[in-house]
Amino acid sequence: MFDVVVVGGGPAGATAAEDLARSGARVAMLDRAGRIKPCGGAIPPRLIADFHIPDSQIVARIRTARMISPTQRAVDIPIENGFVGMVDREHFDEFLRTRAVEAGAERLTGTFLRIEREGGTTAVVYRDKASREERRAVTRLIVGADGARSDVARAEVPGGDRIPYVIAYHEIIAAPAGGTADYDPDRCDVIYDGKISPDFYGWVFPHGAQASVGMGTGIDGVDLKRATAALRHAAGLTGCETIRKEGAPIPLKPLDKWDNDRDTVLAGDAAGVVAPSSGEGIYYAMVGGRVAATAAAATLASGRVKDLQLARRLFMKEHKTVFRVLRSMQDAYYKSDERRERFVSLCHDVDVQRLTFEAYMNKKLVKARPMAHVRIGLKNLAHLTRLVPETYA
């Protein structure tokens, strides 16, 4: 009998399991294992600090972000006072799972099948990886952290089967040692170009000895592999060895409700929680795991299922505004090449650079610079209403 079974051992599930184990709960973490999560692996300093990520997990430190427009204009944004960290999900996720087990969580390896409720008991039913047999883990509560297209969300939470997605595809390649004229191992390239992605963006993210090159789109019929080949060509990476080719959905919108008013609460991609515009999900998955653990612990202590609602409430209190701003940026600027050109132009602005990067790095909208906000707001408006020419810098 467990207090909580966490379904999924990615950043959301492993964080929830670790926090619950530390709070003294009897917790199991079920993960099917054997697959590396397709992911660019970029994480902000706030994550490294809040979740105590050791240096050994950081395979590259990024000091510049290069924004590239449809007409190939490049704007380099220096990352001041820190760096964007790069992790390899193969090792990062396993590190998080091991830490959860060391904190006291029991690890179950197998595939989630369903939740059964009979005679007042609830059980998570899964296929055990080693024996191939069906097993039951009896529990009081469940955290659904089984990623995008979550089976737990689909079965338990209204709307869980209708989360909108972009499909992201990337290739992990062997990076040219020391870099080239077009590839810098300390720089992330973000490519806004309708030929690469008509509704999202492409990227080249260095990972030390490897690099992730890919793009995302929610539009059917876009050839993801061809777009990625074009990205590799533009960055002079066509001849590099391809180590893996893989794709996965990135959810676009958090669900309105994360619990089932009974015994289950969602976290991370399962709840649709990825930042609009950027597709950043690792930090938000870990925060989601943390607030799900807080909500589950509160419910275990009080016996009130209503306390499961705490998860979404705590998350939104902190991140709602950033999500809203990023959503409107995506709606405004990812529509056409003309808008993308304007977006990259806007990135020339030092105030825009500082505020976006402060928001990314520290997950806070900085209130101390009200005039910068006003200036950015006006420039934004001028671009969207075409009061300034496209080549404004």
Ligand X SMILES: Cc1cc2nc3c(=O)[nH]c(=O)nc-3n(C[C@H](O)[C@H](O)[C@H](O)COP(=O)(O)OP(=O)(O)OC[C@H]3O[C@@H](n4cnc5c(N)ncnc54)[C@H](O)[C@@H]3O)c2cc1C
Binding site for ligand X (CB under 6 A): 8-13, 30-32, 35, 37-42, 111-112, 145-147, 151, 168, 170, 214, 248, 250, 268-270, 274, 279-283, 285
- CA dihedral (238, 196, 206, 331) in degrees, to 10, reads 180
Of 253, 244, 242, 246, residue with least CA distance to 218? 253
CB nearer ligand X, residue 32 or residue 73: 32
How many residues does this entry show for the chain?
A: 393
What does the DSSP 8-state code read for residue 306?
A: G
Residue, CB closest to ligand X: 281
| Spatial contact of 60 and 185, defined as CB atoms under 8 Å apart | yes
Nearer to ligand X, 95 or 392 (CB): 95
User: Nearer to ligand X by C-beta: 269 or 349?
Assistant: 269
- The values of phi and psi at residue 256, to 5°, are -75, -20
Quick one: 269 or 341, whose CB is closer to ligand X? 269
- Closest approach of ligand X to the CB of residue 18, in Å: 13
Q: Which is nearer to ligand X, 274 or 291 (CB)?
A: 274
CB of 168 to ligand X, least distance (A): 3
CA 369, CA 374: separation in Å to the nearest integer?
9
- For the CB of residue 383, give the shortest distance to ligand X in the complex, in Å: 26
Residue 189 phi, psi dihedral angles, 5° rounding: -105, 130
- Shortest gap between Cβ of 169 and ligand X (angstroms)? 6
Instruction: Give the ranges where the chain is alpha helix by DSSP (H).
Output: 11-22, 45-50, 89-103, 151-156, 224-234, 282-302, 310-333, 337-346, 350-362, 370-384
Name which of 141 and 168 has its Cβ closer to ligand X.
168
Q: How far is the CB of 265 from ligand X (least distance, A)?
A: 13
Q: Which SS3 state, helix, strand or coil, does residue 350 take? A: helix
End-to-end CA separation in angstroms for the chain: 62
